[in-house]
Amino acid sequence: MVAKKYQSESGGLNDAGRKKFGVKAPISSGTNPRRISYAARFGGMDAPMKDDKGRPTRYAKTLKKWGFGSAEAARNFANKHKKKKSKIAQTMTA
């Protein structure tokens, strides 16, 4: 778990947290490869969107920060924009 001093109240990391962990700020629109990768990773997670008290979880907040309303929206976005593997790459992994 990341220390509170590095967490943004609206989800994800604040500037100090991004500097400490060496990550870039979220991209909330477009088809940037980082956003597609994020959508593929977080769209597949099985995490609650609300806690026991009905408040949005950090998972829900970070999805919103990246421009997705739900895990399903992120998953659909990733499936639509993922690059297809070439035939050579497909035969190498099979």
Q: For the chain, where are the alpha helices, taking DSSP H only?
A: 15-21, 33-43, 58-65, 71-81, 87-93
Work out the average pLDDT over 46-74: 94
In this predicted model, what pLDDT tens digit does every residue of 64-79 receive, in sequence order? 999 999 999 999 999 9
Give me the pLDDT at residue 31, please: 92
Distance, CA of 65 to CA of 38 (rounded, Å): 11
Domain positions in the chain are 31-82
Work out the average pLDDT over 53-65: 94
Give me the pLDDT at residue 82, please: 87
Residues 61, 67 contacting (CB under 8 angstroms): no
Give me the pLDDT at residue 12, please: 84
Distance, CA of 63 to CA of 74 (rounded, Å): 8
Work out the average pLDDT over 40-45: 93
Distance, CA of 92 to CA of 16 (rounded, Å): 42
